[in-house]
């Protein structure tokens, strides 16, 4: 056991004191893990758009002060009572959703939506006792999606940690704990394109590029990137995109453009923007008889999906996915192995890196739309 096991640790964390204001590096106290909890030393974390979205807190319940961060890689420092499948020294990826292995969803081969540990963006405390493990001078600092990786040490439920190959470089595989797995799994696990098929990807941000990477791995012959920002097209070629469509270049719906390009429609489409019009286009652009559309992007809470029922009756399939249908503990270790076997390329997703002391620079890059993923090194 480490010398710090069972004791409060003081360390640096980037604290969001209020919505939209720069994070402040503070000394925080991190309590030891309680039953079924694990304390993890975070080595690398990356910034995902979800962090920025809830930091801005324009459309959600504001929960502050808070420690954001949910894409990361770290090493187990100590474990709480009842934790049997992790030990100090294990390499782990924290995941914003979990796998308790006990509920109906976890026992189902078809679902990854754990009843106990499913994402909850409003909850800023641990399930065990309804309290935070982070404090500053005795005052609580709230958690974010059960991970809070913008801290040198964090406490998470054991069900939200994927134990991975210790040889995997954490500064690369940390990006698999959210966005990249979401897009990759949407294609490989849900759309399941056949070799030689045609795939359209709507939205060429990190998740969309990961969906395109999934189509490349699956052997799709045409991967059509759809985005309103033509600056993204050149970069997307690295992820397998063979053609590009900017809906603004046409005076007709993009689903008609895609149908004309593909002799009736694409075989598979993956929607990664969350804009309702793109969701409808992604469904209506698939071929009748066998086409499958997968929705990944999260829409506005008041958005309504409208399409004519004949589109379904003509044997088009519409599916949704959450975290690429991966069960965090069961499946993510094998995604890491895809990278280790060089089947999955992660380096091209990582466009920037900053030391922890300059974490606000990562926010600036994302707000400007520059780069894909920025890795934040905790020891700098």
In whole angstroms, give the CA distance from residue 151 to residue 65.
Answer: 13
Residue 246's Cβ-count burial label (10 Å; 0-12, 13-18, 19+) is middle
What phi and psi values does residue 366 have, to the nearest 5 degrees? -70, -40
Query: In the structure encoding, which two tokens stand for residue 256, read together?
Result: 């008609």
Q: Is residue 76 a contact partner of residue 156, using CB atoms and an 8 Å limit?
A: no
> What span, in angstroms and rounded, lies between the C-alpha atoms of 331 and 245?
33
Catalytic residues: 48-50, 70-71, 100, 103, 106, 114, 118, 178, 373
The answer for residues whose C-beta is within 8 angstroms of residue 138's C-beta and 6 or more apart is none
Q: What is the signed CA dihedral for 48, 50, 55, 60, rounded to 10 degrees?
A: 180
Q: Rounded to 5 degrees, what are φ and ψ at 335?
A: -70, -40
- Dist CA 185 CA 60 (whole Å): 27
Cα–Cα distance, 101 to 266 (Å, whole number): 37
Element spanning 340, H or E: helix 328-340
- Give the separation between CA 127 and CA 350, rounded to whole angstroms: 33
Across the beta sheet with 24-30, what order do the strands follow?
9-15, 24-30, 134-136, 139-141
CA distance 257 to 136: 56
Among 268, 310, 303, 308, CA closest to 285: 268
């Amino acid at each position: 056991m480490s010398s710090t096991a069972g004791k409060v640790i003081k360390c640096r964390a980037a604290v969001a004191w209020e919505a939209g204001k720069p994070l402040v590096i503070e000394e925080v106290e991190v309590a030891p893990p309680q039953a079924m909890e694990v304390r993890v030393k975070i080595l690398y974390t990356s910034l995902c758009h979800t962090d920025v979205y809830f930091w801005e807190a324009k459309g959600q319940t504001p929960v502050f002060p808070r420690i954001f961060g949910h894409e990361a890689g770290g090493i187990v420092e100590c474990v709480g009572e009842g934790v049997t499948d992790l030990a100090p020294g294990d390499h782990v990826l924290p995941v914003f959703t979990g796998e308790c292995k006990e509920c109906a969803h976890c026992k189902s081969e078809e679902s990854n939506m754990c009843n106990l540990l499913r994402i909850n963006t409003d909850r800023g405390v641990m399930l065990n006792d309804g309290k935070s493990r982070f404090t500053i001078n005795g005052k609580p600092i709230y958690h974010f999606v059960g991970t809070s990786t913008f801290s040198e040490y964090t406490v998470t439920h054991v069900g939200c940690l994927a134990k991975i190959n210790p040889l995997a470089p954490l500064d690369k595989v940390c990006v698999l704990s959210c966005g990249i797995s979401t897009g990759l799994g949407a294609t490989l696990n849900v759309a399941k394109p056949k070799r030689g098929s045609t795939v359209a990807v709507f939205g060429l941000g990190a998740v969309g590029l990961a969906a395109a990477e999934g189509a490349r791995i699956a052997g799709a012959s045409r991967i059509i990137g759809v985005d309103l920002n033509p600056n993204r097209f050149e970069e997307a070629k690295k992820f397998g995109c063979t053609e590009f469509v900017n809906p603004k270049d046409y005076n007709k719906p993009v689903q008609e453009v895609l149908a004309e390009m593909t002799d009736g429609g694409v075989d598979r489409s993956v929607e990664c923007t969350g804009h309702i019009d793109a969701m409808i286009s992604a469904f209506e652009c698939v071929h009748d008889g066998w086409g499958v559309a997968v929705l990944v992007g999260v829409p506005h809470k008041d958005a309504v999906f409208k399409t004519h029922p004949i589109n379904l009756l003509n044997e088009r399939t519409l599916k949704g996915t959450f975290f690429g249908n991966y069960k965090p503990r069961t499946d993510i270790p094998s995604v890491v192995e895809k990278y280790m076997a060089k089947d999955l390329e992660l380096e091209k997703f990582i466009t920037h890196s900053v030391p922890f002391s300059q974490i606000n620079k990562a926010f600036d890059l994302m707000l400007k739309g520059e780069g894909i993923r920025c890795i934040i090194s905790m020891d700098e």
